[in-house]
Chain A
Amino acid sequence: MEAYILMALLLLLTIVTIAIVFQRSLFAVVILAGIYSFLMATAMIVLDAVDVAMTEAAVGAGVATVFFLASLHLTRAREYPRPRAVWLPLFVAGVVGAALIGGTYDLPLFGSAASPIHQHIAPHYLNESMGETGVPNVVTAVLADYRSIDTLGETTVIFTAGIGIMVLLRGRRRRRGEDKDDVDPGARET
C-alpha cells in the first residue's frame, strides 16, 4: 500500500516538474514549485521522515514561495523567449541525466538493511541514543547532541546567507541618470 502511495506521489512530482519546464508565466512556476514541495513533504511522511517533511513543508512550500513571489515583485513575471539553439543544452542535460541514472545502479537497493549506511554508526544512534542522551527523538539527539558542532556550522551558513542577501538588496534602487547625483550631490543646485 505504502509503495503505491509513493508511486502516485512520484508520478505527480514528475507531472509537476514537466509543467514547470513548459510554463512561461513565472507566477505559475512559483505556485507549481510550491505544489512540488508539498508533494515532496507528503512523500517524506510516507517514508516516515517526519522531521524532514516538516522542514520541507515549512521552508519549501511556505517561506520559499513567498520569497519567490517577493522577487517577482522586483523583476518581471514572465520568462524571456527561449533561445534558438536548444540542441547543445539538450545534449548536456541528456548526458548528465544518463550519468545520474547510471550512477543509481551502483547504489544499494532501496531500504536494504545491508547497505553501508546501516552498517556504520546509524545502528549505534538508533539503539543507544535513548540511554546515552535521554532524548526520545533520535533526530534531535543526533542534531543537537552527537553532531552539535555540525549544527553550529549549519546555523552559521544560515547566518551567512542572510547577511549576504541583506548586503545585496540593501539601499535604493539606482535608476539611469541618477549615477551623476550619487557622485556629486551638490551638482544639482548649480
Chain B
Amino acid sequence: MKYDVIMRIGVKLVLPFILLFAFYVHFHGDYGPGGGFQAGVMMAGMLILYAIVFGNDALNRVAPRSFVERCVPLGALLFASVGLIGPYFGYRYLDYAPLSTNSIHAREWGILLVELGVLITVAATMTSIYYAFTERGQS
C-alpha cells in the first residue's frame, strides 16, 4: 500500500484526529463514556493504521519496538505505584486522599493517573502484539 496516494494522504489527514479523540476519551472519562482502556486501544489503533499504510519501518521510527515493549510493564507499574501513595501517608492502598486537600480534586487526579497507567499498558500491549505478529520470521 506504500504507493497508494489516496490512502497515504487520507490516513495522514485522519491520524491526528484519532490521537486527539483518544486523548479526549482519556481526559473526559470522568464525564462521558470511555476511559484509559478505550483511549489506549484507540492510540494503538492509530499506530497500527500508520504501520499498515506506511510499513513497519515507519512505525519503528515513530514508536520503536523496544520502547513500546518497555511501556507494557511501565503502565502497570504506574498504576501500582499510584496506589502506594496512600499507604505512604497513612491511608489505605489506592486511596487517593493524599493527592490533594480537596477530596474531589484528589479523586480526579488519582483517577486520571490510574487511567493513564491503564492507557499506557493497553496501547503498548496492542502495538507490541501487532509487532510480534507482523515481524515474526523477518529478523
By size class, the interface of chain A is: 35 or more
| Interface SS of chain A | helix
B10 CB-CB contact with A under 8 Å:
no
Contact with B along A117-145 (1 / 0, CB 8 A): 00000000000000001111101100111
Given known pairs A140-B111, A152-B94, the reply for A165 and B33 (CB within 8 Å) is no
Residues of B within 8 A of A155 (CB): 75-76, 79, 117-118, 121-122
A156 CB-CB contact with B under 8 Å:
yes
Count of chain B residues with a beta carbon within 8 Å of a chain A beta carbon = 51
Given known pairs A55-B38, A137-B31, A144-B115, the reply for A67 and B130 (CB within 8 Å) is yes
| Interface SS of chain B | helix
B79 A66 Cβ-Cβ under 8 A: no
Report A100 CB to chain B, min CB distance, Å.
28
Q: List 9 A-B contacts (CB under 8 A).
A: A54-B25, A55-B37, A55-B41, A59-B41, A66-B52, A133-B107, A134-B107, A151-B114, A165-B129
* Residues of B participating in the A interface, judged by any CB pair closer than 8 Å: 25, 29-35, 37-38, 41-42, 44-45, 48, 52, 69, 72-73, 75-76, 79-80, 83, 93-94, 96, 103-104, 107-108, 110-111, 114-115, 117-118, 121-122, 124-126, 128-130, 132-134, 136-137, 139
* Residues of A participating in the B interface, judged by any CB pair closer than 8 Å: 50-51, 53-55, 58-59, 62-63, 66-67, 70-71, 73-74, 133-137, 139-140, 143-145, 148-149, 151-152, 154-156, 158-159, 161-163, 165-166, 168-173
